[in-house]
Structure 1
């Protein structure tokens, strides 16, 4: 990765995010996982947490919905996700702690097999720096794909939270366990109503590891409608925009309101990876200023010694001057 002094014209190309950036983890890193990962759900790490009461829907209506699979493209989805940029998938952090190779199944109606859509290898994983595996606070992760997807990306909610007002009816999607106890072969959806965190806290008052903190939101007041095992990381859409990521819930699916990551509270961290110098700040210990931009390909292509003061060009326009970097 190479630092570049930015020209004024480049200000529209790079938007530095405020707040935290994601922490990168590698596929060979195993994060500490307690024996019972989420006491409030009673699930083991490979079961995932949290569509009861739903019905089959078309991937064409929700083209940004993603299934995550271990090891081989044709395997069964173990978690969900949502395409938020051509090369990035948003999911639950607890879905991506295991070191196994992950493939993203994008644009596919099916929960297993290679029937349609794209199967793309995940090459980098990022966790929110405040993620807590015991309580699932800031339970959000970002996956970088080996190649960009051609599918439509999701529209992210407004930062002021206006897209997820209490009482808003939202849609959850996934291939997880249904009310008959089996995992769905076809994409399922169900509508749930967003409730206040105060209402949700009452439901989870006896759960020692389920704090309904501000970065969480809850939805679902009608028993029998909920996300379930295998749906973690999947999207919660309200009026066509992404407002939540499926995180956790009660011991029994659809017995309590579902708990979701509140997207409006993590927009800065998403932006720090996708749209700005967030990854560069990680490489250079947070020293990247607004007068700099970074460029990298991840495949061994870069400027090197004696290239300083060279001129990176985008669409025949000068956007910077090569400044510095790290050398091997």
Structure 2
């Protein structure tokens, strides 16, 4: 099953993509509600509308397939870490701690972009993309999404979508020297789409350890930049979900990015390996085209940069401990 959100003229639609048409959920349900009900309920909804005509897919404008409750982004591909660390830190290095757990950061659910939607980056000399597969969390009866093991976590994977975690590498490098982030190097835009494909459709791609042998590739202006198999991640996806729930909680509508695939899944990796800005950073007018086997294609044009108000520097402070009366 494929699940999407779209605009048909001024009308918002949410439902299934069936062949070359879009069909709304019954009873006016929204994607958030269907995710909360879980995958078994979604199958029943699909059966109710599978024969309905709906609207032609090419007559509507697809939106991001969900409004995320939160977005966690992992860094699960060793090859990506090797290359980007060389570009950002000046030397190729994978910290021993990387191997201990599938580390992630939280990013901004309020700047999500949909298929074909233009990204408007901040002022940057090193605009980059990141090719990722994202997990979409669904509801599971009898589970509150806390402290899951990998087996229980697997049931919470409702489906997958393509994720492009846009990155301003120069801003990212500066702020991470303060030992926090990434933040402003990332939170201006993140593209999702074109739809959610339910987890059952990926079962044929699973190897004996649960890794997904799915091909992902990215092109800029039709030039192939990178490609990889998702099975090169350090952990299978249920273990991402389990780790995210550790002493915490995952809820329906959460998005968990795999992290950038290796072998050119982003320009930053190639800059680190090449020792130069080759290929060139993205600029206005470029078109980034990502495809992942079993899902389809996410196309994202790059727009002009947006200059934000200037930031004042920190003020020197006297570090007084008492207030004069």
The TM-score range, normalised by the shorter chain, is under 0.3
- Structure (1/2) with the larger helix percentage: 2
